[in-house]
Amino acid sequence: RIGPYVCAEWNFGGFPVWLKYVPGISFRTDNEPFKIAMQGFTDKIVSLMKSHNLFESQGGPIILSQIENEYGRERALFGQAGYNYMTWAANMALSTQTGVPWVMCKDTAAPDPIINSCNGFYCHQFTPNRPYKPKLWTEAWSGWFTEFGGPHHQRPVQDLAFAVAR
């Protein structure tokens, strides 16, 4: 998962905190200051990974890359600006030419050739957003994130095994 948004389980979603001080920035939408920062970060990470031959296309172990994470619900909230951002993020990711497929989790509008994938406790009813794309389960949730000072949530291993077997 290259980013830029990692997930709710990371402080500030995995974004560097200094980003909130960028004038005019609005996160995860069609916003130039955010897209400039996102592209710079993604290009830097991909360049670093390429320099170490980490992608399968270079003989490395990485077979998939992910851009954005669980954006579908947020995309809907942003309306057209969310759709524009999602499309831009997909095209920006593809422009890095990693030589491996890109995925977007939980976004049925992910444009070709980006693969929509499932994150969740259960993915047996998940279908890809196009019939010719593979069915991928990229996060099998074994619990729920722990808030500071909160209880530690664990999923019974039997339920996890059942979900995978389905």
Domains and CATH numbers, the chain: 11-165 (3.20.20.80)
What's residue 154's pLDDT? 86
* Residue 9 pLDDT exceeds 80: no
* Residue 133 pLDDT exceeds 90: yes
Question: How many other CB atoms sit within 10 Å of the CB of residue 130?
Answer: 14
pLDDT digits 0-9 by tens, 21-68: 999 999 999 999 999 999 999 999 999 999 999 999 999 999 999 999
Average pLDDT, the chain: 92
8 A C-beta contact, residue 147 and residue 127:
no
pLDDT digits 0-9 by tens, 67-99: 998 888 888 899 999 999 999 999 999 999 999
**pTM here?**
0.88
Torsion of CA 15, 17, 21, 25, to 10 degrees: 20
Determine which one of 9, 32, 56, 70 is catalytic: 70
Determine which one of 56, 68, 74, 139 is catalytic: 139
Q: Tell me how far apart the alpha carbons of residues 77 and 80 are, in angstroms, rounded to a whole number.
A: 9
Q: Is 139 designated active site?
A: yes
* Residue 4 pLDDT exceeds 90: no
Q: Is 70 designated active site?
A: yes
Could you tell me which of 128, 127, 97 has the C-alpha nearest to residue 115? 128
* Residue 103 pLDDT exceeds 80: yes
Torsion of CA 106, 138, 29, 32, to 10 degrees: -150
Q: Tell me how far apart the alpha carbons of residues 139 and 117 are, in angstroms, rounded to a whole number.
A: 9
What's residue 81's pLDDT? 96
